């Protein structure tokens, strides 16, 4: 093989592409993942509800249903292997009107049929004893296996472990054209040509465009924008479970949930649009999210909102995941239309699609595969003695850079120097939460930029928020 010839090329470095990469690293094959941005977790995977759904919502028999329940079941062991934050905090679905109780019962029965364990229907009074701030309702679906996760932590952990096990990652590399060849496929990018036997299409909202380059059986993805409000950690205990409303036409509706890091999250709205990069927020959308959330949970302290954001979901016209080999393009495998509950399904999708490719290719097991990855040491979580010992060994862990999140210089250096280390301010933020607190990076940005420049050799004037063109400083170095 020459330098740009591979067994598998994965297009897309979100949670799905990274999960597939990690699953493929269990086999003896040369795999490369191409990502158009400067880092993994830069699209849909970085802006979502961060929920590990129990699996009662998807239509029985669909890929969404099968892979949701399996992915949920895998998440606990995976979080231990890969050292990322995950918690089963349970989920509640509120029904507000007597006439809607049959729909709640149908949701319960669907959950049972899908194999969701331990679900039940509770009364409003029973739920209020569990969650005093929940408005109640005339019936509530309770799913104790529902959970919350850090989508950055999950994606980065999968990618790092895949890389440590031999998968190559190439950033700032956009797949502009995919062509069939006698041996497989040629992926033409802004950063060279990659020859491969197999292609995995995990391009999120762009997965229809990649698919349609090689197949006559066209896909159509609609970007569905959802807006969120994130509240300060002082509001993080307002509810302990994830609180949903009975699902409607556009999905699971507005939720109120604690985050894995102790904040409170409200959203998302659902607006279909044509713009595949339009992750803006609107006053109307954020007001809608807050208004509808207040129906589920009383006295939400909206004055403690510290930021708002939006993300895009890749909604496919058939309303189910498209996973597998394209009928008229042998060797081309789709992971397309991965909208909610895609984050919950990610570990299962990775195993499912990698298994399909291995069955066709016959790669064989990678005898050196190591499933264990250790995350960045979180100094603030250590007890007094452990932290003192850590600082004694490396004083950088005693130099606090981000006061809101208590993030030290040592943690930022680790984020930069480890496998697939950060090369942008957003890359640091996603790995250690520098800048995610109450002041939203108002205090710590200059020092973090200096550390990034020092550790990488990138001139301070070329340090970017994310992609090239988002430089933090304009002008020349003194």
CATH 1.10.10.10 is right for the domain spanning 379-462: no
pLDDT, tens digit (0-9, with 9 covering 90-100), for 75-131: 999 999 999 999 999 999 999 999 999 999 999 999 999 999 999 999 999 999 999
Identify the band that residue 1 occupies on the pLDDT scale cut at 50, 70 and 90. Answer: very low
| Residue 174: burial class (beta carbons within 10 Å; 0-12, 13-18, 19+) | middle
Give the bridge partners for 95, in sequence order: 139
What is the predicted pLDDT for the residue at 253?
78
d(CA 101, CA 139): 7
d(CA 103, CA 111): 12
The pairing of strands 5-11 and 192-201 is: parallel
d(CA 102, CA 109): 10
For the chain, the domains span: 5-45+152-221+319-361, 87-148+223-312, 379-462
DSSP string, 13-53: -SHHHHHHHHHHTTBS--EEEE-SSSSSS-SGGGSS--EE-
* Mean confidence (pLDDT) of the chain: 96
Identify the band that residue 475 occupies on the pLDDT scale cut at 50, 70 and 90. Answer: low
Question: Residue 252 pLDDT more than 80?
Answer: no
Set 53, 211, 238, 315: catalytic member: 53
Question: Residue 139 pLDDT more than 60?
Answer: yes
CA distance to 209, 443, 445, 470, per residue, from 439 (Å):
39, 7, 11, 21
Identify the band that residue 137 occupies on the pLDDT scale cut at 50, 70 and 90. Answer: confident
pLDDT, tens digit (0-9, with 9 covering 90-100), for 70-81: 999 999 999 999
d(CA 82, CA 74): 12
What is the predicted pLDDT for the residue at 411?
98
The region of weakest confidence among 50-59, 211-220, 240-249 is 240-249
Residue 397 is encoded by which pair of tokens?
Answer: 């862990």
pLDDT above 90 as % of the chain: 96
Identify the band that residue 476 occupies on the pLDDT scale cut at 50, 70 and 90. Answer: low
Nearest to 377 by CA among 3, 83, 115: 83
In CATH terms, the superfamily for domain 87-148+223-312 is D-Amino Acid Oxidase, subunit A, domain 2 (3.30.9.10)
Are both 87-148+223-312 and 379-462 of the same fold?
A: no
pLDDT, tens digit (0-9, with 9 covering 90-100), for 11-51: 999 999 999 999 999 999 999 999 999 999 999 999 999 99
d(CA 156, CA 450): 23
d(CA 158, CA 192): 26
d(CA 251, CA 254): 9
CA distance to 71, 236, 258, per residue, from 41 (Å):
19, 24, 21
What is the predicted pLDDT for the residue at 478?
46
53 is catalytic: yes
pLDDT, tens digit (0-9, with 9 covering 90-100), for 404-446: 999 999 999 999 999 999 999 999 999 999 999 999 999 999 9
CATH of domain 5-45+152-221+319-361: 3.50.50.60
Question: Residue 202 pLDDT more than 80?
Answer: yes
Residues 209-222, mean pLDDT to the nearest whole number? 97
Of the chain, the end-to-end C-alpha distance in Å amounts to 47
């Amino acid at each position: 093989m020459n330098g740009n010839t591979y067994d598998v090329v994965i297009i897309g470095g979100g949670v799905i592409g990274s999960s597939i990469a990690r699953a493929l690293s269990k086999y003896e094959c040369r795999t490369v993942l191409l990502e158009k941005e400067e880092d993994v977790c830069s699209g849909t995977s970085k802006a979502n509800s961060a929920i590990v759904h129990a699996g009662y919502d998807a239509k029985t028999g669909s890929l969404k249903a099968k892979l949701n329940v399996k992915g949920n079941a895998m998440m606990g062991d995976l979080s231990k292997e890969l050292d990322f934050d995950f918690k089963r905090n349970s989920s509640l679905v509120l029904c507000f009107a007597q006439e809607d109780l049959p729909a709640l019962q149908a949701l319960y029965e669907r959950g049972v049929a899908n194999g969701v364990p331990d679900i039940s229907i509770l009364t409003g009074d029973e739920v209020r004893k569990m969650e005093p701030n929940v408005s109640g309702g005339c019936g509530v679906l309770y799913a104790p296996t529902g959970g919350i996760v850090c989508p950055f932590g999950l994606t980065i952990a999968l990618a790092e472990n895949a890389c440590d096990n031999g998968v190559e990652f190439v950033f700032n590399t956009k797949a502009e054209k995919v062509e069939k060849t006698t041996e497989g496929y040629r992926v033409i990018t802004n950063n060279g040509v990659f020859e491969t036997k197999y292609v995995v299409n995990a391009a999120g909202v762009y997965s229809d465009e990649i698919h349609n380059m090689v197949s006559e059986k066209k896909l159509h993805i609609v970007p569905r924008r959802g807006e969120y409000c994130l509240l300060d950690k002082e509001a993080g205990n307002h509810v302990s479970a994830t609180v949903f409303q009975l699902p409607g036409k556009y999905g699971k509706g507005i939720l109120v949930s604690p985050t894995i890091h102790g904040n409170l999250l409200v959203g998302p709205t659902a607006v279909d649009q044509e713009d595949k990069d339009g992750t803006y927020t609107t006053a109307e959308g954020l007001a809608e999210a807050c208004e509808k959330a207040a129906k589920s949970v009383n006295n939400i302290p909206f004055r403690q909102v510290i930021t708002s954001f939006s993300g895009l979901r890749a909604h496919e016209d058939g309303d189910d995941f498209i996973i597998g080999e394209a009928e008229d393009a042998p060797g081309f495998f789709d992971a397309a239309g991965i909208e909610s509950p895609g984050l919950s399904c990610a570990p299962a999708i990775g195993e499912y699609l990698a298994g399909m490719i291995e069955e066709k290719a016959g790669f064989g097991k990678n005898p050196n595969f190591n499933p264990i990855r250790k995350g960045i040491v979180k100094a603030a979580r250590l007890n007094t003695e452990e932290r003192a010992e850590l600082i004694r060994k490396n004083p950088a862990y005693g130099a606090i850079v981000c006061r809101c999140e208590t993030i030290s210089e040592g943690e930022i250096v680790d984020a930069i120097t480890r496998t697939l280390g950060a090369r942008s301010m957003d890359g640091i933020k996603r790995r250690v939460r520098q800048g995610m607190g109450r002041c939203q990076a108002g205090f710590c940005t200059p020092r973090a930029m200096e550390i990034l420049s020092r550790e990488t050799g990138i001139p301070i004037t070329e340090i970017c928020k994310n992609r090239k063109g988002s430089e933090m400083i304009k002008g020349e170095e003194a």
